[in-house]
Each structure stands twice: as structure tokens, then as C-alpha cells.
Amino acid sequence: MAWAFVDNWRNANAMWYGDRMFRIQRNAAGSDYDRTAAFDYFDDAALVDDYLYFGCPYKWWGLKLEVGTAFAATSVTFAWEYYDGSAWQTLNVENGDAMLNTGTQIVSWTPPHDWGSLGAHWGYGLRCRIAALTTITEGGANATNLVEWNFASLQVTGTVSGLSSAKTADLAGSYTLLSATTPAASLAPLEMPTHEIGETSDVDVTLAGCTLGAGDTVVLTGIDHDGNALTETIDVSGGNGTYTSTNVYRNLTDVACNGFADGTIAVTQNRWGLIANYAFAGGSRMQTYLLKTHLMIGDGSSATEFTLNNHVVHFVYGTLWYCDLATFLMGQSAGAGDYAYSQDGSIIVEGHNYYVSMVAYWPRIWGQSTLTWYGCTYRYHATGYTTENVMIFYESSSTIAWTDCVFEGDGTNAVAYIKALDSLTMTRCRSTGSWGWRFGEPNTTLTDYLSTAAIRAELSSSTEHITLDNPAGPSMYTTMYSAAYALLIDGTIDYGDCTTNSWSHTIDGIYRLVKRFDLTVIDENGDPLESVDVIIVNNEGETEYTGSTNALGQIPQQQLKYAYMDHVYRGANTWTIYTPHTVTLDGSGIGYETRSIEYTMDQRRDEVEMLGPESASGGRRPRIRYHGV
């Protein structure tokens, strides 16, 4: 097994609807260049305070630029800034002058602990602003490749159970706060990842090629675990080498070199600082963790099976989990049949910021992966306005199976989108909160699904459908393409609760509401009657079943038509009601009577009918037992 802290570079074309996720814009009224390889960073007549803006609903750790034409001026100062939710703040970065040099240039930083959503634009916002400028001749331009974004991730490969080994790996790792640079009286390191998760670390100061002597020092300034000011003076008169701080810091804000100015100085945090462990929650069996960054399960090639039982995992806002050719297991099944249940499930809590129709389509499944969850809770919070969709599961040849799981969501006008290109099965699951949860293509089956908001589906072709077996919810809304349809078996959603929209098609049977029908035929002594011929005809004259009872007096369980909707593109929808149904029982072949019974199939029915001997025809009334919904 192995844990690693890895870069994960993605551009807008690598994401489904990436053009709705990313934003690259020059000044407030500029065009969006997220899917454009060649664009100008700044106008050739740029002014002080002009800026290049970058935005995304998820947190990222760096940008990769392909500088085709370098920015040129007599002098320029770039200020990299992030938005904290109310104002622009200084962002300490590596390679902040990237646009002054051609070729592949990487600008990196630590996602700030107080990074917030920028209301005027989209998502987590940062910008490169011209803070000072003399005689500009060229504003610089990107070329050849799209800008890439680094969604650096905590990655697991191999066969791993739980996050305790991740914490061990975290403590054994390191993170560069200040790459080797020329010593100065004040140097700004990157923010320590430990800051956001409330952890601390000591740091190493490495000096090379410096001329050092008596009285030379390095002064570290930062904060302790509780946010109090913390300063330490390290005597470096002993010469070049690595010096480890005595103090542990939650964040380091300044590095001052006193008495020397040649050679290089580098500062390293002595752990990754990505995961905090709060042991067991409330004395229960649940181990609680907080993650600073994204969790990547698998690497796209190595066999990976990650099991997470009895955990509570909180992701800081703007981070999430995803699989890359892996198996992700949570909880386990117990019991069997009617007594089956789930145990040892986990709780995952995520959230992100967005604004103005930001659509956060992050594929959670890359490559062929398997998700099997039992008894889990997945809680998602989104902040912002007028968004459409905030999550997506998306990849072909993958299998998703959730049993006894709860999906909770809240936010403003948000719709959570669960999309599987191969197989999605949900059994005894429910969704709660202010969101609607939307399901998409191609073959989704929800069994005993309960939703407190409208159930939504979006399907794309005639080979795709969604099946809801015994659903409970206030309503259902579908967006369909081609001849896709929704099949509702039993449940509490009636045809008056169903609405739809097709962007370009007229579709017959876009909604198909059916009810289960079980039938047992007995004689006057209560014994089953075999070989009774049964014919079931609906209100439209269609024969839905013809056959005979078996040795138990039963026919195969039927799903009888209740109501079907035909959708007319840009026209009126028409419902066809197929009930009542006429059930004819013909016992003449075995010396019993023939009888016809009418049933209204607006609910699931489990019926027992009695036939008397042929001479007693019409002398008895049927006994009826209704099956509760």
C-alpha cells in the first residue's frame, strides 16, 4: 500500500462542461479564455491595476502557463492576490514573475485557509494584478496549450483500509514553503497547509553557499496552534547546512536573514500537513479526520482497493474525493433477505463555493471503477446563487451500488447531479435537504428510494432509462432526449406529480407508471387451484397477461400499466390511464367456474380469489386482500 501527495494537472477540456467550471478573464469585462490556448495576458497598453483573473469552484494549488510571448516593460511588479470572501489579499506564490519568461511556467501556492467565493465572478478567485509599471511594450500571451490547473491530491494506491496510514505518511512527508532563493531581510514563504486544518509542524531551514559567521541568524515569524504570535531566532553561525526549528508552527509568515546575503536559503515544513485526526467521535467507533486537499483513490494504472469503515471524513471547503481506476468500499452488508441490513458505514462531508450559474462538474470516477457503499451518509453543502449542478459521477464501464445510504444536501437553488455511464443501483437510500438530486444515464435503478425534494432525471437516448422501484417523494421532473423514459413501479408518486421537458424530441411513454399485481386462486377449502387460465386486459383493450396458475395457485408477479405520458415537443403532454383492469379466471378446464373481476390498479395489489365448482358459478363473491403501499 502507498500514500503520496501528488500533482494532478487538468485543463478545461479534461472536465465535463469544463467551460462552466473554469474562468480566465482579463479585467472585469473581459472574455473567458479557459478553453482558449492562445490569448493575451494583458493589453499591450495595460495600466497599473489591470489584472488577469482565474476562478474555479474547487481549490487548486497552481497554474501551468505556456508563455508564447513574454510580458515586456522597463519594469513591472506583479501582485498575486486571492479573494477571502470580502476583499483581495496577498497570495504568496512561487514563480510570480512567470509571464516574464517564455515556455512552460508553473506558478504554485498553498490554497489559503480563508479563500472565499468572489461574487462578481465565479468560484474561488485569484488574480495576477499589475501593482507597478514603467513603459510597457508587450502584454504577454499564452500559446500552444490550454492553461492547466493543479488539483494536488492525497493519493492512495494498493490495498488500504482506513486513514490512519495516511496520517502516518503525512507526518513522514515534507512540503516546501520557500524554494532555494537569495537570502534577504524579509522573505514570504507559502502558507503552511497545517494552517487550515489546525495542525502544527516544525520547519527545516537549509542554507547553501552562504558566507556565515558570528551573529548571523535566521528569524522565523508565524503563529502557534492557537493563533498567537510566535517568533524564533536560529543561530546559523555554525555554517551551511540544515537547521530545524525548536518551535512548531501552525503558519509561518516571514523568514528574515540577518548578517548574510549570498548563497541560498530554503524552508521546508516537516510533514505534508494535509490530514488531521480527531480520534474517535463522541466515544463512538467512528474515527474522525479532516482533509486539507482532494483525496485521489487510485492512480489510473495500479490495482487499488480502498476501504473506509466507521469513519467520519470532513473535507475542507472546495476539496473532494474521486477515484481513478479503483475500488472504493464503505460499510458492509449483514443479514439476508427481508432481514438484510447495513453496518460499519462512514460519513463523508464536502462543500464548495460558486457563484452565478457556476456548474461544478467534477468527474468522481476516472477509468473503470467500482463504488460499493453500505449504510453511509454523504453530506454536501454548497454556497452561492443560481447554480445548476454541483456534483457528478461520470465514467463508462463503472459500477456504483449504494445500499441504505443517506444523501444530504443544502444550498441555494442547487441540484446535485449523479450521472453514471454504465450502472447505478441504489437500494433503500434516501436524500434530504433543500436540493433536488438528479440522476442520469443510462440505466439507473433506485429501489425504495425516499426523497424530500423533487426527484430529477436527465437521459439522452432510446437505450437509456431510469427505474424507480417503490419511490417516495413529492414529485418527479425529467429532461429527456430521444426516446428515453422513466419507469415508476409502485410508490407514492402519482401521475399528477410528474412533469417533463424534452429539448428536441416528441417521446411516447416518457413516463411509465406501473403497479405490481400478485394473484393467488384457491378453492372453497382454501387450497390452491392449479391450471386456472388467467387473462388480464387493461382499460385500453390491451392484453397484459395470459397464462395459467401454477401448483401454488399463483401467476408470475405482474407489473400492470397504470398511467403513461406521451410528450409532445413544444406541445401538450397527454396522459393515458390504463386502469381499471379486467381479470378473467377460467376454471372450466378443471371443473371450476369462470369469473371476471375488475381492479383499479392505482396501487400495488396482492389478491386472493376463490373459485367454486362449475355448478356453483356465481354463488360466491371473491375475497380480496389489498397489499399496503
Secondary structure of residue 18 in the 3-state scheme: helix
| Whole-number pLDDT of residue 310 | 95
Mean residue pLDDT across the chain: 88
| DSSP one-letter code for 211 | -
pLDDT beyond 60 at 624: no
pLDDT tier at 629, thresholds 50, 70, 90: very low
| Residue 303 or 465, more confident | 303
162-171, 296-305, 394-403, 567-576: which has the minimum mean pLDDT?
Answer: 394-403
pLDDT tier at 388, thresholds 50, 70, 90: very low
pLDDT tier at 627, thresholds 50, 70, 90: very low
Cell of 196: 487550515
| Residue 383 or 628, more confident | 383
113-122, 246-255, 332-341, 487-496: which has the minimum mean pLDDT?
Answer: 113-122
For the segment 103-129, what is each residue's pLDDT rounded down to a tens digit?
999 999 999 999 987 655 567 889 999
pLDDT tier at 622, thresholds 50, 70, 90: very low
Q: How far apart are CA 3 and CA 165, in angstroms?
A: 8
Cβ-based burial of 98 (10 A; exposed 0-12, middle 13-18, buried ≥19): buried
pLDDT beyond 80 at 275: yes
Q: Give me the CATH topology for the region 174-269.
A: Jelly Rolls (2.60.120)
List, as own/partner pairs, every contact residues 12-16 make where C-beta atoms lie below 8 angstroms and the sequence separation is at least 24, other chains included: 12/146, 13/146, 15/361, 15/362, 15/363, 16/361, 16/363, 16/392, 16/394
pLDDT beyond 90 at 389: no
199's CB contacts (< 8 A; 6+ apart) are 225, 250, 271, 273, 276
Average pLDDT over residues 422-432: 84
For the segment 473-529, what is each residue's pLDDT rounded down to a tens digit?
899 988 777 777 889 999 999 999 998 876 666 777 889 999 999 999 999 999 999
Which amino acid is present at 520?
T
Q: How far apart are CA 549 and CA 533, in angstroms?
A: 7
pLDDT tier at 617, thresholds 50, 70, 90: very low
pLDDT beyond 80 at 281: no
The domain locations on the chain are 8-151, 174-269, 275-505, 515-562+572-616
pLDDT beyond 80 at 249: yes
84-98, 320-334, 427-441, 549-563: which has the minimum mean pLDDT?
Answer: 427-441
Q: Answer yes or no: same fold for 8-151 and 174-269.
A: yes
Average pLDDT over residues 424-448: 77
Average pLDDT over residues 228-254: 98
Of the CATH numbers 2.60.40.1120, 3.30.300.30, 3.90.850.10, 3.30.365.10, which one belongs to the domain with range 515-562+572-616?
2.60.40.1120
| Whole-number pLDDT of residue 338 | 80
Q: Is 191 left (phi over 0), alpha (psi -120 to 50) or beta?
A: beta
| DSSP one-letter code for 536 | E
| Whole-number pLDDT of residue 412 | 55
| Whole-number pLDDT of residue 17 | 57
Average pLDDT over residues 440-460: 79
For the segment 402-420, what is each residue's pLDDT rounded down to a tens digit?
999 998 876 655 556 666 6
Backbone phi, psi, residue 197, to 5°:
-100, 5
pLDDT beyond 80 at 284: no
For the segment 45-101, what is each residue's pLDDT rounded down to a tens digit?
999 999 999 988 889 999 999 999 999 999 999 999 999 888 999 999 999 999 999
Backbone phi, psi, residue 496, to 5°:
-70, -10
Instruction: Decide if domain 8-151 falls under CATH 2.60.40.
Output: no
